[in-house]
Amino acid sequence: MSTLRIEGVSRTFPARRGAAPTRALEPITLSVRDNDFIAILGPSGCGKSTLLRIVAGLDRATTGNVLLDGEAVTGPGADRGMVFQSYTLFPWLSISDNIAFGLRERGVGERERLAVARAWCQRIGLAGFERHYPKQLSGGMQQRTAIARVLANDPKIMLLDEPFGALDTQTRALMQEMLLGIWERERKTVLFVTHDIEESIFLASRVVVLSARPGRIKAEVRIELPYPRHYTLKTSPEFSALKARLTEEVRAEAVRAATAG
């Protein structure tokens, strides 16, 4: 069981070259329970990725704290696995060695590393590609590798920053279904940043909508659609109603940001 608590977290970036400081996030408080799948949704520039980076320990909050199982997050750790929009694979390493990289850094023996990498290649549909290099794979296959690399470390929480944003529509839909399957089997806790409203509804058990910058929590919407989810769910009246509600929430913030600029 793992619990993530974001307590009054804000972020202000210092002024540069005479400009005023940039307030990226207003104080945000959010509880994420074990096996939650939380999507963070909002207009561009609202601080979604900044919040995720703070949880990952890649950035420091200006105020507030992030607690994982009661312990303060002060930097990156193996208990939190981060997946970025860019694939961030090591081009000189094979797919198997990319997946096993974190295990190697932790001193896990070669035989065990290779066994774990082989198992994850099987689970994510990359069996037979273990000795290939990233440049030999499609974008979707590279992102599968990036997700497997995180999961090989068995983190308590997965943090995903628009991981499917660079993929074509069909590949993106397949990756969404793959991620849901992993989440259901592995019982991981997921914090998922996206600007795609349909994606947030299809994946999440709860959607947190951030306002235009400086980001604050504008709404929390529970997605009471049953799991496992199939792509045909996107044509249901319940899905359409949630999409209309969230579209209005996000559109109002996008308009506010545009008029403020």
Q: Which domain holds residue 132?
A: 80-154
* Domain annotation covers residue 142: yes
* Domain annotation covers residue 48: no
Rounded to whole angstroms, the Cα distance separating 124 from 227 reads 20
Give the CB-side neighbour count of residue 197, counting CA atoms within 13 A.
Answer: 16
pLDDT one-digit tens code per residue, 78-125: 899 999 888 789 999 999 999 999 999 889 999 999 999 999 999 988
Rounded to whole angstroms, the Cα distance separating 219 from 153 reads 33
Cβ-based neighbours of 66, under 8 Å, separated by 6 or more: 4, 5, 6, 7, 9, 54, 55, 72, 73
Q: Please give the mean pLDDT across all residues of the chain.
A: 92
* Domain annotation covers residue 127: yes
Rounded to whole angstroms, the Cα distance separating 99 from 202 reads 27
Give me the pLDDT at residue 261, please.
58
* Domain annotation covers residue 255: no
Q: Which two tokens stand for residue 27?
A: 């104080």
Give me the pLDDT at residue 10, please.
97
Give me the pLDDT at residue 166, please.
84
Rounded to whole angstroms, the Cα distance separating 116 from 216 reads 40
Give me the pLDDT at residue 1, please.
61
Q: How far separated are the first and last CA of the chain, in Å rounded?
A: 44
* Domain annotation covers residue 15: no
DSSP state of 90: -
* Domain annotation covers residue 243: no
pLDDT one-digit tens code per residue, 9-34: 999 998 887 778 899 999 999 999 99
Rounded to whole angstroms, the Cα distance separating 47 from 24 reads 5
| Cβ count near 127 (within 10 Å) | 12
Give me the pLDDT at residue 28, please.
97
* Domain annotation covers residue 141: yes
Domains contained in the chain, number: 1
* Domain annotation covers residue 3: no
Which residues of the chain are modeled with pLDDT < 50? none
Burial class, 19, CB count within 10 angstroms (exposed 0-12 / middle 13-18 / buried 19+)? exposed
Give me the pLDDT at residue 11, please.
97
